[in-house]
Chains A and B, each alone.
Chain A
Amino acid sequence: MIHPIPPGSRDVLPEEMRELRRLNLALIEVFEARGYGEVATPTIEYDEVMARGDGRASGAYRFFDESGELLALRSDMTVPIARLVASRFADAEMPLRLCYLASTYRAVTPQRGQLREVVQAGIELIGATAPEGTAEVIEVLEAALDAAGLDRAVIGLGDSDLYRQLLTEYGVEGEARESLLGKLARHDLVGLEVELGEAGIGEERVATCVALSQLRGGAEVLDQAREIGGTAVERAVAGLGETYEALDRIGAADRVRIDMGLLRDLGYYSGAILEVYDPALGYVLGGGGRYDRLMHNFGLDLPACGFGLYLERVHVAQMEEQRRARGES
């Protein structure tokens, strides 16, 4: 007899669990070997704590406890760890290196096979500035991808403040700017061009903005972007250039692609942002970046950076890469 479970949830049976466990261990070992101590936080947080991260929205699953407090299932691990650091490590020696392996909870579209419960494995480096801190995080991410056997995986590196600042520089603000940032995040270039046209910034700036979002590749992208000029672009190019050089110094620049069109939808990022791709999978495997302003929401002024990998997707990519290595597809 079949007893249903909620859509977007699933059971894991022994054969898969064995593989997931091996993958988990490999990742945590990489993190621990680099000085990142594993922590666990509660699955439920006060809703108000989760809301301090994004500002716009907290978790998708909220409920009241027996004394009427509003609680939320955590939607990511960065915010709970920011809370934990502020509470437990305020006086600790910085930088602080922490890692985690934990379930997070997301809203899903029905009938799309999306998971409500997503296991993430990741690290947070608190108290280390750009560019060295960012480079360290990327180096750990590369080691994690290697440990998972994803040696074809690529890391996209972009700047989360670029378009907000560029549009402000162009005199586009308020709702119009937020709408444009939404178009950029979704990469709706057609809508972007139309709305930029309506913003009255002139044809040349419209073309610049669209072209900039398509610049992606190796270090040569920085030169191409620099030619575009302007305060916002120059600041982003300088920041990305420093990060790239720091990566180069530790021999970790090879699988990094600079992407001037990268924009992540989490509200707390500032400066460098990351996404992880594998050619065997059409979905993003994980992401991260700098969140130099987030700790301030918890009363500590500390720069920080981290990443999270979606474990189930890494597992899918791992299987696809193994099939490919066997010559099957």
Chain B
Amino acid sequence: MNVGVAGSRAVPGGKLKLAVPRGALFGETLDVLDAAGVDTAELRGNSRSLIFETDELTLVTMRPSDVPTYVESGAAEVGITGKDVLLEQGDRAVYELLDLGFGRCRMVLAGRRGDTRLGESQRRLGMMRIATKYPRIAADYFEGTGRQVDLIEVKGSVELAPLIGLGDGIVDLVATGRTLADNDLEVREEIVVCTARFVANRVAHKLRAAEVDDLTARLREASRTLGAAAS
């Protein structure tokens, strides 16, 4: 789509940099990249390096929660991360181009199994105390459902909090539900379903339109193929 003088002037040198999330989404991200024709062999073999070159892209590995930061600033032109991360950092201005379908998780409100604390605090104290790693998603959800909460932000295993009396319940991301079950917790309400998303920097989406569109189309095709094979 780059045409004439404007096109040649606007396309800067260098390969597109793609932010790749390490952690839970890492394996499936590499699978979908492979299926889209991006060579990820080196990433699979080497766990120490941060930057990997392919013929077409520079792959930059990072924590999923850093992806919006790098992409918003344009340090990475495109990236892959979870919808939970995008919701929690909703003020990061990145373009959300594609639902990749994998990494499916639910953001839920959970309490101790059979425990009445959540309801009783709500009724008698007018407010639930909720521990979470996702304060913004939790705040939006309770505000949207007309309830007052006291949010307690924790960084580590949030399941611990209600077990020893920090808060009445938790808002957390659940994949299989096994961690909840192991800790004697149960899902009370589902807030939102989250999957992996393909995001782009706003300026790169304009100035490197052809490359971004091409990669988007290939990832769409690849995620459909993988999704169909999995189901």
Contact = CB atoms under 8 A, between A and B. Distances in A.
Same complex: yes
Contacts of B1: 216-218, 220-221
A254 B5 contact: yes
A281 interface: yes
Contact of B202 (A109, A187, A257, A280): A187
Contacts of A284: 202-203
A121 interface: no
Contact of A154 (B6, B91, B97, B205): B6
Interface residues of B, number: 32
A186 B93 contact: yes
Interface in A266-304: 275, 277-284
Given A189-B95, A217-B3, A154 B202 contact: no
B24 interface: no
B91 A109 contact: yes
A154 to B, nearest CB: 5
A11 B82 CA distance: 38
B206 A277 contact: yes
A156 B10 CA distance: 12
Interface stretch (B42-50, B69-77, B166-174): B69-77
B156 interface: no
Given A154-B206, A217-B209, A282-B72, A188 B96 contact: yes
Nearest to A259: B206
Contact of B96 (A187, A217, A281): A187
Given A154-B9, A281-B74, A283-B74, A191 B96 contact: yes
A278 B73 CA distance: 13
Contact of B5 (A220, A255, A277): A255
Given A218-B7, A254-B5, A283-B74, A187 B205 contact: yes
B203 A281 contact: yes
Contacts of A112: 91
A145 B202 CA distance: 20
A218 B3 contact: yes
Contact of A190 (B5, B7, B99, B206): B99
A189 B72 CA distance: 16
A189 B220 CA distance: 13
Contact of B197 (A190, A214, A254): A190
B45 to A, nearest CB: 28
Given A154-B9, A187-B202, A279 B96 contact: no
Nearest to B99: A190
Interface in A193-245: 214, 216-221
Nearest to A151: B9
B93 A154 contact: no
Contact of B98 (A189, A218, A255, A281): A189
B204 interface: yes
Interface residues of A, number: 33
B213 interface: yes
A323 interface: no
Interface string B179-221: 0000000000000000001000111111101000100000000
B11 interface: yes
A20 B201 CA distance: 27
A219 B1 CA distance: 10
A277 B203 contact: yes
A111 to B, nearest CB: 11
A29 B1 CA distance: 35
B4 interface: yes
Nearest to A109: B91
B200 to A, nearest CB: 8
Interface string B1-39: 111111101111000000000000000000000000000
Contacts of B91: 109, 112
B136 to A, nearest CB: 11
Max chain A Cβ within 10 angstroms of own Cβ: one of B4, B10, B96, B203 = B203
B170 to A, nearest CB: 25
Contact of B6 (A188, A189, A218): A218
19 contacts: A152-B10, A154-B9, A154-B206, A186-B95, A190-B98, A214-B213, A216-B1, A217-B7, A217-B209, A218-B6, A218-B7, A254-B5, A255-B5, A256-B6, A278-B203, A279-B203, A282-B73, A283-B202, A284-B202
Given A186-B96, A279-B12, 18 more contacts: A152-B10, A154-B10, A154-B207, A186-B93, A187-B96, A188-B95, A216-B209, A217-B1, A217-B2, A217-B7, A218-B6, A254-B6, A259-B206, A277-B10, A282-B75, A282-B203, A282-B204, A284-B202
